[in-house]
Amino acid sequence: MRRTVHLLTADDVLAWRARYDTMLRQRVLGTYRRELEGVDLDELKAAGLKVMSDGVARSMRELVEALGLEPGSRPLGEMLISALLPVVQTPPRGLWRAKGGVRNVLLSKWLGRESDPLASDEALIRRYLAAFGPAAVADIRAWSGLAGLPKAVAAMRDELVTFRDERGRQLIDLPDAPRPDPETPAPVRFLPAFDNAILGYDDRSRIIDDEHRGLSVAGERVVLVDGRVAATWTVNAGTLAVSPLRRFSKADRVAVCEEGQELAAFLSDHESDRVRIDA
């Protein structure tokens, strides 16, 4: 819900979507502030809801046309689809090995129910820490895109445990969360583009070197070796190609190849498990 496409359960999106209204508006305004100057966003939202209330899935262009706007009014369409209207992308988008243009329908029409009461920031913080803790408040803010979280953290301080990282930053976590021994082996893992294992933090140096930080927002798919980004990967003509960012040891190459074969077979239409590790 940070103005990117997310796969969410129905209950979660109904609970959390309203909390992101202000942030999503600000994100779109940050891109199109000049083009949207003087636009009454509440009026625009009301007009968009009136058109989309019929439950018909529309592309952004079709929505703009239905509103009687100029075909080039992309900033208005972006504001409607990305921020003002709670929408979902309809199939075949999001289906396994299926493609199709982006067509949007109101969330309430797709699910047959309205949004639930606004979920609390404390609940969001608990959910984040369960997945990504220990973490700093700055990490939670970077992941969620939301402001005002320090107040919520302070309100629940008694139910959290605290640590210090190598930089002296205070980290918080749930008291019963698993915290493996630092010497616990981290197996090779192939991550998709924009995976939250990387994007879930403000300080991404815990998983990716600063010189490669740009990969995390460039849509590159990466390979973790010993818990850190060590390569990128692509699939071409049935072969999974791995491009190391540093020299692999013999053991690293074997582990990457074995894990890569499992992934290649999973992704292949022809049960191919070919893996190539570039020099």
Q: Which amino acid is at 99?
A: K
The whole-angstrom separation of Cα 52 and Cα 249 is 56
Q: Which amino acid is at 54?
A: D
pLDDT of the residue at 2: 57
Report yes or no: 195 and 201 within 8 Å, Cβ to Cβ. no
pLDDT of the residue at 5: 77
pLDDT of the residue at 52: 96
* Domain boundaries defined on the chain: 10-111, 121-173, 189-277
pLDDT of the residue at 3: 62
DSSP-assigned states of every residue in the chain: --SS-----HHHHHHHGGGGHHHHHHHHHHHHTTTTTT--HHHHHHHHHHHHTT---B-HHHHHHHTT--TT-HHHHHHIIIIIS-EEEPTTTTSTT------EEEHHHHHSSPPPSPPPHHHHHHHHHHHH-SB-HHHHHHHH--S-HHHHHHHTGGG-EEEE-TT--EEEE-TTS----TTS----EE--TT-HHHHT-S-GGGTS-GGGGGGGGTT--EEEETTEEEEEEEEETTEEEEEESSPPPHHHHHHHHHHHHHHHHHH-SS---EEEE--
The whole-angstrom separation of Cα 127 and Cα 172 is 13
pLDDT of the residue at 116: 76
pLDDT of the residue at 94: 82
Quick one: tokens of 29? Answer: 């305004």
Residue among 264, 108, 132 nearest 200 (CA): 132
The whole-angstrom separation of Cα 98 and Cα 96 is 5
pLDDT of the residue at 166: 87
Cβ count within 10 A of residue 192: 10
pLDDT of the residue at 221: 96
- Could you list the mean pLDDT of each consecutive 10-residue stretch along the chain, which spans 279 residues? 75 90 92 92 96 95 90 87 94 85 95 83 94 94 91 95 92 94 93 91 91 89 96 91 96 96 87 86
